[in-house]
A and B are shown apart, each in its own frame.
Chain A
Amino acid sequence: AQTVTQSQPEMSVQEAETVTLSCTYDTSESDYYLFWYKQPPSRQMILVIRQEAYKQQNATENRFSVNFQKAAKSFSLKISDSQLGDAAMYFCAWRDDKIIFGKGTRLHILP
């Protein structure tokens, strides 16, 4: 069965610093998609970044980037120049036909 594991329930980072959120997954599939979603206190689920498994190049969206290690089944999210608005719950997700979400990492930004 496919699983997604986020080993860090909570993390804190100083404003303007860089933080990396970890995610590992387990699948026997070779073609799939990986995502990071952000859920702020408003509870709206917002797509942060997407990675196609067949692409070797790591995805980047402004201050957000991923480190995708397919062989290790690892998909971490790096947030550069952290801002107060980045405070949220972050979910890693894997998708073949349906999406499997991790349990989430709550990120605190310290002013």
Chain B
Amino acid sequence: DAGVIQSPRHEVTEMGQEVTLRCKPISGHNSLFWYRQTMMRGLELLIYFNNNVPIDDSGMPEDRFSAKMPNASFSTLKIQPSEPRDSAVYFCASGTRGVYEQYFGPGTRLTVT
């Protein structure tokens, strides 16, 4: 099993640009989670999906953030326009409700200058 795949691993962009982060969950998992990790705020849940449907997006910080899951094997997190305070490591994780633990991808380190 390849595990959760995220791309890109590193992203450096200028303020105001659109950023798209991608995630491929583990095959067979029906839950997908997007997290943001910073030194100040720790690990924050942004949004999660069950069976491709967004269940809770209360952690999405602003309307500049949006997430989609068009099918069971792909999800995106988009920031438009990006700001320097969005700089963080963004993790995607997947799991199954029956098992409950989540498996994390390697993360995307985003730097907005």
Contact = CB atoms under 8 A, between A and B. Distances in A.
Contacts of B100: 33, 50, 95
A104 B42 contact: yes
Contacts of A37: 104
Could you say which interface size class chain B belongs to?
Answer: 10 to 19
A101 interface: yes
10 contacts: A37-B104, A43-B106, A43-B107, A45-B93, A50-B100, A97-B55, A97-B56, A98-B48, A98-B56, A102-B42
A41 to B, nearest CB: 12
B74 interface: no
B43 interface: yes
A91 B43 contact: yes
B103 interface: yes
Q: Chain B's interface: helix, strand, loop or mixed, by majority?
A: strand
B76 to A, nearest CB: 20
A47 B103 contact: yes
A78 interface: no
Interface residues of A, number: 20
The 10 closest A-B pairs by CB, nearest first: A45-B104, A33-B100, A101-B43, A103-B42, A47-B101, A43-B107, A50-B101, A95-B100, A98-B48, A44-B106
B39 to A, nearest CB: 10
A98 B33 contact: yes
Given A45-B93, A99-B102, 13 more contacts: A42-B106, A43-B89, A44-B104, A44-B106, A44-B107, A47-B101, A47-B103, A50-B101, A95-B101, A97-B55, A99-B33, A101-B42, A104-B42
